[in-house]
């Protein structure tokens, strides 16, 4: 069931430069939300005709829904100015999320604010390892929240300012090789820029392990009605808002 | 009590408020969050005989006061629509009749899809709306709607293929609407939909490329409303065909303007994306307006301008 609710803002806090947590009171959506699903938020200070903005859910529990976002464009900048106690209109839970179980170790691979749905997922999959990449250490988000869940984290930065120097597939491949040497099962879960998603898709297909790929697209309706948020799949042009955002690796055509 | 019922060329509507093609999927997608009881009809997204992939990404761009889209009529074809989407629609609570928007690559395909829909005999399907004005698909869109002779020919063929109420959706970007209205009337159309989106383009100045994959698209949303009112007004002056008006309705005031200009019913489009409760609010606002102005029936609003 999808809902459209007026939700009270409980938190709209900058936790790193330009990055924020927005937490709202949305009990119906929080109760039904699955990791990998998203919400569509109407930014109250934008003009009446402005489109909603889609956000992956970082956490949903105790009647509250939290998203992680970056103030980049007109919508997110306006959203950053919304005060605690004000209301936003929020539509959700939307889209097809990640599966709630994993056979073996869950390898979560995030880029930028792609870590958001992986955090919610990590709460459901206790045997998780997070791999996160960024240009510099300032792009590595919410690591404290993963550590609080007891999730092992492995980081990579292009400039070497934290962890492995290079792309996040570096430490990912190391771990994959270790797990394979030990004969341990694992699955891949990812969200981030398309380049990262392609790299994880290739690995899932080559290794014949389940790969769950969350695709990020600009959206209009979020309900499967407008056909704007397309990703090429084996079925043709698929709507990310309803047939995704999470696709199986073998469904995707890059 | 205001009588909110209206009739659109044979389509009995319990409310003058409908949804516009392309903005409401195939009618069922919004079932969890929209109150359908205040809708007089929903219009399904464009359907043709076979599946069609639509345009490349990007398919939309937000602009001040509106939206430019170039979806390109993606769809699974008429069989999928009649079987799967109409089945999904049967699960919608308080569902009004469906107006099926149709298009084709040739005149014969237009007729064929209309005939297929009629022959299916689905009781929920109340009317057919011909799209002869999509700015985003060359073959099946505006080429049929930019020449009154061609328009007469394709509408005549579809008229012969169906007994369902036949609505023709026209483009706003013509020098004068009258010849197109006349062509539809002569060909036996039952009603008109006005307006389709206005051809538009958005450019990314940093990359120096068009934003849309199709390069150009169609403008909708709040900013097109006054232009749409003018087209409805012009059309109503030259025809008795009932008009389903659309273009930038966000509030009851916008819908009432359309009705005073000559519309018998209105359709909510782009507004649904940001505010899915727009149709219900517009319905309530029309009731309130009729009560305040002493109109016992919403039909009295049609063309009720006080002009000297």
Examine the residue annotation and report whether B223 is marked as an active-site residue of this protein.
no
Q: Is A120 part of a structural domain of the chain? A: yes
Q: Which of B45, B65, B276 sits opposite A49 (nearest CB)?
A: B65
Give the CATH number of the domain where residue B101 resides.
3.20.20.70
CA dist., res. A28 & res. B84, Å (int): 29
B66/A49 Cβ within 8 A? yes
Token couple for B31: 């079932």
Q: Is B62 part of a structural domain of the chain? A: no
CA dist., res. A46 & res. A28, Å (int): 25
Q: What is the mean pLDDT of residues A215-238?
A: 97
- Which residues from B are below 8 Å from A52, CB to CB? 273-274
Q: Are residues A212 and A167 in the same domain?
A: yes
CA dist., res. A149 & res. A110, Å (int): 16
Per the prediction, chain A carries an average pLDDT of 96
Per the prediction, chain B carries an average pLDDT of 96
Q: Is B77 part of a structural domain of the chain? A: yes
Q: Is B209 part of a structural domain of the chain? A: no
Q: Is A215 part of a structural domain of the chain? A: yes
Q: Is B65 part of a structural domain of the chain? A: no
Dihedral of CA atoms A169, A132, A177, A195 in degrees, nearest 10, equals: -30
Q: Is B308 part of a structural domain of the chain? A: no
Q: What would the pLDDT profile of B81-102 be if each residue is shown by its tens digit? A: 999 999 999 999 999 999 999 9
Question: What integer pLDDT is reported at residue B26 of this predicted model?
Answer: 98
Q: Are residues A89 and A109 in the same domain?
A: no
Q: What would the pLDDT profile of B240-261 be if each residue is shown by its tens digit? A: 999 999 999 999 999 999 999 9
> Count of CB atoms within 10 A of residue B2's CB?
15
Q: Is A98 part of a structural domain of the chain? A: no
Eight-class DSSP state of B47:
E
Q: Distance between alpha carbon B24 and the CA centroid of its chain, in Å? A: 11
Q: Is B212 part of a structural domain of the chain? A: no
Give me the residue label for tokens 């919004």.
B30
Q: What would the pLDDT profile of B211-234 be if each residue is shown by its tens digit? A: 999 999 999 999 999 999 999 999
CA dist., res. B263 & res. B247, Å (int): 12
3-class secondary-structure state, position B291: helix
Catalogue the E-assigned strands of chain B.
6-8, 11-13, 17-19, 42-47, 60-63, 66-69, 98-102, 125-131, 166-169, 191-194, 198-201, 203-204, 209-210, 216-220, 243-246, 265-268
Q: What is the mean pLDDT of residues B4-11?
A: 98
Catalytic-labelled residue, pool B134, B184, B223, B290:
B134
Residue B142 binned pLDDT confidence (cut-offs 50, 70, 90): low
Q: Are residues A89 and A135 in the same domain?
A: no
Question: What integer pLDDT is reported at residue B139 of this predicted model?
Answer: 59
Token couple for A80: 């950053």
On whether the CB atoms of residues A62 and A30 are closer than 8 A, the answer is yes
CA dist., res. A223 & res. A138, Å (int): 34
CA dist., res. B66 & res. B80, Å (int): 31
| pTM tops 0.80 | yes
Q: Are residues A153 and A120 in the same domain?
A: yes
Q: Are residues A114 and A88 in the same domain?
A: no
Residue A19's domain comprises 3-93
CA–CA min distance B242, chain A (Å): 27
> Count of CB atoms within 10 A of residue B148's CB?
18
Question: What integer pLDDT is reported at residue A126 of this predicted model?
Answer: 86
Q: What value of ipTM does the predicted structure carry? A: 0.94
Q: How many domains does one find in chain B?
A: 1
B30 CB near a chain A CB, below 8 Å?
Answer: yes
Give me the residue label for tokens 């792609």.
A114
Q: How many domains does one find in chain A?
A: 2
Residue in chain B nearest A93 by alpha carbon: B32
Does the N-terminal peptide bond of residue A245 adopt cis geometry, omega within 30 degrees of 0? yes
Residue B97's domain comprises 6-54+71-197+221-301
Return left, alpha or beta for B187; rule: phi > 0 is left, psi -120 to 50 is alpha, else beta. alpha
Question: What integer pLDDT is reported at residue B140 of this predicted model?
Answer: 55
CA dist., res. A228 & res. B57, Å (int): 8
Residue B133 binned pLDDT confidence (cut-offs 50, 70, 90): confident
Q: Are residues A123 and A194 in the same domain?
A: yes
Q: Are residues A247 and A126 in the same domain?
A: yes
């Amino acid at each position: 069931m999808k809902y459209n609710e007026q939700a009270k803002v409980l938190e709209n806090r900058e936790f790193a430069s330009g990055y924020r947590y927005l937490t709202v009171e949305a009990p119906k959506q929080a109760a039904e939300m699955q990791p990998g699903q998203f919400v569509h938020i109407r930014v109250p200070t934008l003009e009446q005709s402005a489109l909603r903005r889609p956000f992956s859910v970082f956490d949903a529990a105790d009647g509250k829904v939290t998203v992680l976002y970056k103030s980049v464009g007109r919508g997110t900048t306006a959203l950053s100015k919304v005060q605690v106690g004000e209301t936003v209109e929020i539509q959700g839970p939307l889209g097809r999320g990640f599966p709630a179980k994993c056979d073996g170790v869950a390898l979560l691979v995030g880029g930028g604010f792609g870590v958001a749905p992986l955090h919610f997922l990590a709460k459901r999959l206790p045997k998780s390892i997070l791999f996160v990449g960024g240009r510099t250490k300032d792009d590595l988000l919410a690591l404290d929240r993963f550590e609080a869940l007891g999730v092992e984290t492995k980081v990579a930065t292009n400039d070497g300012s934290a962890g492995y120097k290079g792309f996040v597939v570096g430490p990912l491949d190391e771990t994959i090789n270790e797990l394979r040497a030990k004969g341990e099962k694992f699955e891949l879960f990812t969200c981030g820029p398309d380049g990262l998603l392609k790299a994880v898709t290739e690995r899932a297909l080559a290794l014949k392990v389940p790969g769950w790929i969350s695709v990020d697209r600009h959206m209009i309706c979020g309900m499967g009605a407008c056909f704007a948020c397309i990703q090429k799949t084996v079925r043709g042009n698929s709507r990310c808002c309803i047939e995704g955002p999470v696709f199986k690796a073998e469904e995707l055509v890059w | 009590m205001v009588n909110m019922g209206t009739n659109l060329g044979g389509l009995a509507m319990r409310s003058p408020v409908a949804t516009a093609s392309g903005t409401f999927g195939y009618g069922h997608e919004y079932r969890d969050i929209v109150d359908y009881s205040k809708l007089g009809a929903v219009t399904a997204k464009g359907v043709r005989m076979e599946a069609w992939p639509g345009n490349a990404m990007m398919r939309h761009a937000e602009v001040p006061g509106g939206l430019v889209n170039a979806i390109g009529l993606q769809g699974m074809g008429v069989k999928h629509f009649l079987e799967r989407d109409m089945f999904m629609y049967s699960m919608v609570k308080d569902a009004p009749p469906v107006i099926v928007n149709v298009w084709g690559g040739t005149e014969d395909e237009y007729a064929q899809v209309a005939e297929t829909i009629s022959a299916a005999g689905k009781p929920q399907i109340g009317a057919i709306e011909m799209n002869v004005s999509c700015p985003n698909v060359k073959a099946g869109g505006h080429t049929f709607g930019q020449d009154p002779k061609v328009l007469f020919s394709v509408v005549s063929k579809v008229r012969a293929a169906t007994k369902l109420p036949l609505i023709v959706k026209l483009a706003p970007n013509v020098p004068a609407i009258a010849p197109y209205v006349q062509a539809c009337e002569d060909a036996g159309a039952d009603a008109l939909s006005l307006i389709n989106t206005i051809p538009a383009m958005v450019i990314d100045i940093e990359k120096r490329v068009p934003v849309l994959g199709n390069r150009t698209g169609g403008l909708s949303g709040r900013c097109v409303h006054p232009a749409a009112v003018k087209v409805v007004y012009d059309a109503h002056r030259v025809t008795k065909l009932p008009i389903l008006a659309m273009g930038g309705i966000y509030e009851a005031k916008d819908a009432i303007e359309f009705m005073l200009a000559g519309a018998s019913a209105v359709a909510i489009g782009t507004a649904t994306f940001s505010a899915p409760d727009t149709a219900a609010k517009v319905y309530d606002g029309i009731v309130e307006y009729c009560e305040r102005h002493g109109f016992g029936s919403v039909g009295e609003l049609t063309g009720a301008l006080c002009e000297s």
